[in-house]
Amino acid sequence: MGNRAVITTRENFENNGIGVYLQWNGGRDSVSAFLEYCRLRNFRPPEEDNFGWARLIQIIANFICGGLSLGADTVDHLDLDNKDNGTYIIEKWRIVGREYFDLEEQELYPLKDMLMAIDRRQPAEQQLGHEYLVASEDKPVEQIRMGDWVWVPNIDDDCGFEKGLVTGTGTPPDYYGDAHADRIVPYVRLLGRTCYLTETMYRVKIRRQINIRS
């Protein structure tokens, strides 16, 4: 018995590819949080290459204790029809399909609470923290303004992020990311470098709302 589930992609489900088996924490609220945590860590999704599977297993293994709580194999060796949560089909760190499930979804754990619980189980140097996970939000680069605090990847640590203040706009000196070479984009000042925001989406600290009484 347990709270079982299998996580895989549509291609792997149909072609006997890799899947991840959970003995516990297989409810949709937990699985969605594991996937969202991987997305917020900026890991490559599993449908792109096997690095994504390795990172997903890493995050879940740090969270779940026990030698028989987590497994990985080709889907023909996994309990797809497990009578608990069935099989999740994922793409780009989102649940996009479901097989072998017709029960009521588990909704015990709010996403932000679950993200923080997952974060606390990761190695200290890899934790994202409350400010990044809870006090920030995804924002398209077109909506980023002067004075926003923006999280950008740390060039010295591919697991981490740095927070920088948007202080201006300009044309990136070289083409990279998702921006056109001649596009004017915001930039943040970091220690020893200027980082142009050339991706389509960034994590931005939520601005506090100030209520002014009349």
pLDDT, position 174:
66
pLDDT in tens, 61-71: 999 987 889 99
Structure tokens, 180: 């056109």
- Is there a domain that residue 214 lies in? no
**Residues sharing a CB contact under 8 Å with residue 148, sequence separation 6 or more, in sequence order:** 139, 165, 166, 186, 204, 205, 207
pLDDT, position 121:
97
Tell me: do 104 and 178 sit in the same domain: no
Structure tokens, 46: 């599993």
Domain that holds residue 152: 135-205
Read off the pLDDT of each residue in 137-151 and give the average, rounded to a whole number: 96
Tell me: do 62 and 148 sit in the same domain: no
- Is there a domain that residue 85 lies in? yes
Tell me: do 10 and 104 sit in the same domain: yes
The residue among 89, 120, 151 that closes a domain is 120
pLDDT, position 13:
98
pLDDT in tens, 16-47: 999 999 999 999 999 999 999 999 999 999 99
Tell me: do 77 and 18 sit in the same domain: yes
Read off the pLDDT of each residue in 133-155 and give the average, rounded to a whole number: 95
- Is there a domain that residue 175 lies in? yes
pLDDT in tens, 107-131: 999 999 999 999 999 999 999 999 9
Tell me: do 68 and 33 sit in the same domain: yes
The residue among 97, 120, 143 that closes a domain is 120
What is the rounded CA–CA span in Å between residue 157 and residue 214? 48
Query: Rg of the Cα trace of the chain?
Result: 20
pLDDT, position 208:
78
What is the rounded CA–CA span in Å between residue 48 and residue 63? 24
Q: What pTM does this model have? A: 0.91
- Is there a domain that residue 59 lies in? yes
Decide which of 212 and 171 is more confident: 171
- Is there a domain that residue 213 lies in? no
Tell me: do 167 and 67 sit in the same domain: no
Q: Residue 88: which pLDDT band, with cuts at 50, 70 and 90?
A: very high
Read off the pLDDT of each residue in 122-146 and give the average, rounded to a whole number: 96
pLDDT value at 105 more than 60: yes
Domain count, the chain: 2
Read off the pLDDT of each residue in 160-185 and give the average, rounded to a whole number: 79
In the chain, pLDDT over 70 holds for what percent of residues?
A: 91
Q: Residue 171: which pLDDT band, with cuts at 50, 70 and 90?
A: confident
